[in-house]
Homo-oligomer: A and B are copies of this chain.
């Protein structure tokens, strides 16, 4: 059981899957991408289905290893903190946009597989939600709105930007970093972010 081969196979399988989907990710293509004989795949993983499952779990773990964007426990400068968070999240989503698009589109065929990829963004969303509540508690944000909807507003904008930017480039005539700044600036006014003196920014 060569572990070096195993890693290359998983990586290649994930890459081929995100480009072509379950049906397009043929065992021949994966073997070629991994620089490995096709028979080796079956000796290692038994079936194509198990191989893809292992590859997706590996990719999810790989993704999780890169530390997720974190918001501070104690808010000091909300706009600056959220901008940096938004920037990191945008880049992270943009990098694995193909994997996201593929898994999402295959949700209707095998929901459980797509569900495994739901957990990471769910934790990110919960992080933002908790941060907004902390802002409200400290008097740094208004309270006359639904914090869940506000979370969905920013999360959704970032998600849509990362996913559709390369498909409809004319609708995003600004860089990813500029997008983060703009979205957060608008979002801050939406939730009534105040500075430490209680003044609305």
Contact = CB atoms under 8 A, between A and B. Distances in A.
Interface string A143-165: 00110111111111111110110
A160 B187 CA distance: 16
Nearest to A145: B186
Nearest to A182: B149
B167 A152 contact: no
A74 B185 CA distance: 27
Residue in A121, A160, A172, A191 with the greatest tally of chain B CB atoms within 10 Å: A160
A186 B148 contact: no
Given A122-B170, A186-B145, A192-B189, A104 B152 contact: no
A156 B167 contact: no
A199 to B, nearest CB: 15
Contacts of A121: 168
B24 A185 contact: no
A192 B158 CA distance: 21
Nearest to A24: B23
A104 B164 CA distance: 8
Nearest to A121: B168
Measured as residues with beta carbon below 8 angstroms from the partner, the interface class of chain A is 35 or more
A104 B171 contact: no
A2 interface: no
B186 A149 contact: yes
Interface stretch (A39-47, A52-60, A105-113): A105-113
A162 B119 CA distance: 19
B167 A118 contact: yes
A185 B150 CA distance: 10
Contacts of A104: 101, 105, 163-164, 167
A183 interface: yes
Given A122-B171, A155-B171, A156-B158, 4 more contacts: A104-B167, A145-B185, A152-B172, A157-B157
